[in-house]
Amino acid sequence: MLTITKYNDMLFDEWEKFISDSNNGTIFQKQAFIQYHINRKFVDSSLIIKNKNAIVAVVPAAIKNNILYSHPGSSYGGIVLSNNLDFKMIHEILKAIDEYCIAQRYKALFLINSPSIYEKNLDQSLDYLLQWNGFKQKELYISHAVDMSNTSDILSLLTKRKRRYINNNQKLNSLTFEEEGYLEEFYDILVTSKKKYNAAPTHSLDELIKLKNTFPEKIKLLVTRNENQIIGGSLIFFTNDNVALVFYNTILEQYRESQIAMLQLYKCMEVAKKYNLHWIDFGVSHTPEEENPLAPKFSLIHFKEQFNAKGVLRIAYQKEYGDY
């Protein structure tokens, strides 16, 4: 018999442990992450699904326009599953969530699950069962990630041309890279870079500081220095034991035509490998400045493919329940 209860702060430790032990949980579904928002408050409606007394799934979620969103405040939400659930149990979990949403008279349920590379054990049963149970694809994103698990020589993963740049370019070799510190300087460069596309960073500086303090071992800042000047950098999230996600990679405008942005991504790969991560995800490649912001950005995808990155789907599902 499955039961569903709403999350409350008394269950914080139990929730965090379940995410760490789950098959597809990441830092983005931890309550410590979800609660980072400083000026963007959500009505939390996260759910815990138990089979008898054991948690088998959780849904980090918030209410928005009478839609249960999972989650409006993080890259991934969705249904986080326990390890080694069989097909029938996953089906029963979906049915229980459906019944709960109908009983609560929610208009719809919106889910962005962790992509498959974030799973400890590959299992696409959830995707199949979502579609079988009437969930429709609402949005589709393409990310690109590099599998580093089968080599100790990550330079060999790059194209020959990129390897030559790294090995033979004196200007690149004169740069230094530093972990930690300089978050404000990095953020200034990031804001300036985003303005070119009439955009802004996903996080405020205060939010990044809060996140960095909350997850000091899981969020790494790598800055690029040219002599005494910080000219760019990357912010990397160690999402779980499998995957590092490059959330931001930015550089001063005057260096945009150089190969420094490329070198920064390679250095991110080195950092992820050093900490024994199997994959590095370079993030989505879309065109927010265009009429259709979900259209693929082919030039950015080609850039990532030169690191041997392959496409990884992020699928947003939605199921309508009624116009309550």
- pLDDT for residue 28: 95
pLDDT at 289 (0 to 100): 63
> Could you give the CA distance from residue 322 to residue 324 in angstroms, rounded to a whole number?
6
Q: What is the pLDDT of residue 35?
A: 83
Cα 294 to Cα 284: distance, rounded to the nearest angstrom: 10
Q: Does 302 sit behind a cis peptide bond, omega within 30 degrees of 0 on the bond before it?
A: no
Is 249 within 8 Å of 268 (Cβ atoms)? yes
Q: Tally the C-alpha atoms within 13 A of residue 97's C-alpha that lie toward its C-beta.
A: 36
User: Which stretches of the chain drop beneath a pLDDT of 50?
Assistant: none
Domains and CATH numbers, the chain: 2-134 (3.40.630.30), 145-313 (3.40.630.30)
Q: Which amino acid is at 111?
A: L
Q: Is the pTM of this model over 0.85?
A: yes
